[in-house]
Amino acid sequence: MEKSRKKKIRVYVQIFFFLLIALIAVNKTLAETGGGISFLSTASIHAICPFGGVVTLYNLFTVGTFVQKIHSAAVVLMGVVFFLAILFGTVFCGWICPLGSFQEWIGKIGHKIFKRKYNHFVPVKIDKVLRYFRYFVLGMTVFVIARSGQLLFENIDPYNALFKFWAEEVATPALVILGLTILFSLFVERPWCKYACPYGALLGLTNKISIFKIKRLKTTCISCNKCDQTCPMNIDVSNQEVIKDNQCIRCYECTSEASCPVADTVNLEVGRKKNEN
């Protein structure tokens, strides 16, 4: 019962943020025609996108202005997200990001269809190479925006397309990438997060320095590999003592509170690990 309750908390948080972003997006459209909720009329999905805070810093420091369509709120939100990342790692990816949650929900359909084959279609060697692609996307995104001062990533951003697919301003490439993301989510868990998300690439680096880390106590581990099987990012948890992988989204599905059958074996801890030989 306790394990089930812990997992439900994360689901509730995911649903809350997904509905919040959806409400803001719909309300923005209604506000343009004189309707909607007045106190939300000035909010936009760009203003609450923390990645916008990352790419607008260049303009802010060099010319004193924000990137087009990016509000100062995005910089504040970016600071909050990075503060949480320093404490807990990439909790934004695993708990808050609505696009990540959406892929996860689509993936549940794929899991029912393909059972154990789901999330194991891509050969390991190819998968390892593909995971570096999101750092290429990160580099190109920051470079192009720094040079142009405009949010050009919007033209291929599935996050923007997901919450504004009905709007004429949404570029066709963004809709195509969103469609491919949905399709691949039926075969691979969180394909955009694994292979293309520039913000996830940046936040993933904090897993190596976060104060709280996921740790496995090898003296009580029974090598059942359930932690590996439940990890949506295909991380080899059972062979690591401290999970610092930059792909980890801190969903805590591998922990003793969620999947591990042995109490206090895989946990979120702070400080040095107390291993026994």
**pLDDT, tens digit, for every residue of 106-125?**
999 999 999 999 999 999 99
Domain limit, last residue, from 186, 205, 224: 205
Residue 148 clears pLDDT 70, i.e. is over it: no
Please check whether residue 126 lies inside any domain of the structure: yes
Same domain for 62 and 160: yes
Q: Which two tokens stand for residue 10?
A: 């994360």
Lowest mean pLDDT among 73-82, 153-162, 252-261: 73-82
Q: Are 224 and 261 in contact (CB under 8 A)?
A: yes
Strand ranges across the sheet with 212-216: 242-243, 212-216, 266-270
Chain length of the chain: 277
- Between CA 134 and CA 78 the distance in angstroms is 19
Q: How confident is the model at residue 51 (pLDDT cuts 50, 70, 90)?
A: low
Tell me which residue range forms the domain holding 245. Answer: 213-270
Please check whether residue 11 lies inside any domain of the structure: yes
Name the E strands within 36-126.
none
Same domain for 24 and 98: yes
Mean local confidence (pLDDT), 78-88: 87
Would you call 210 helix, strand, or coil by DSSP? Answer: coil
Q: Are 188 and 194 in contact (CB under 8 A)?
A: yes
Same domain for 228 and 108: no
Please check whether residue 194 lies inside any domain of the structure: yes
Residue 183 clears pLDDT 90, i.e. is over it: yes
Q: What's the number of domains the chain is made of? A: 2
Same domain for 73 and 171: yes
The string of DSSP letters for 56-72 reads HHHHHHHTS-PPTT--H
Domain limit, last residue, from 185, 205, 225: 205
Please check whether residue 275 lies inside any domain of the structure: no
**Model pTM score:** 0.86
Same domain for 185 and 77: yes
Q: Are 251 and 215 in contact (CB under 8 A)?
A: no
Greater model confidence, 77 or 3: 77
The string of DSSP letters for 180-225 reads HHHHHTTTSSSHHHHHT-HHHHHHHGGGGT-SEEEEE-TTT-----
Same domain for 255 and 143: no
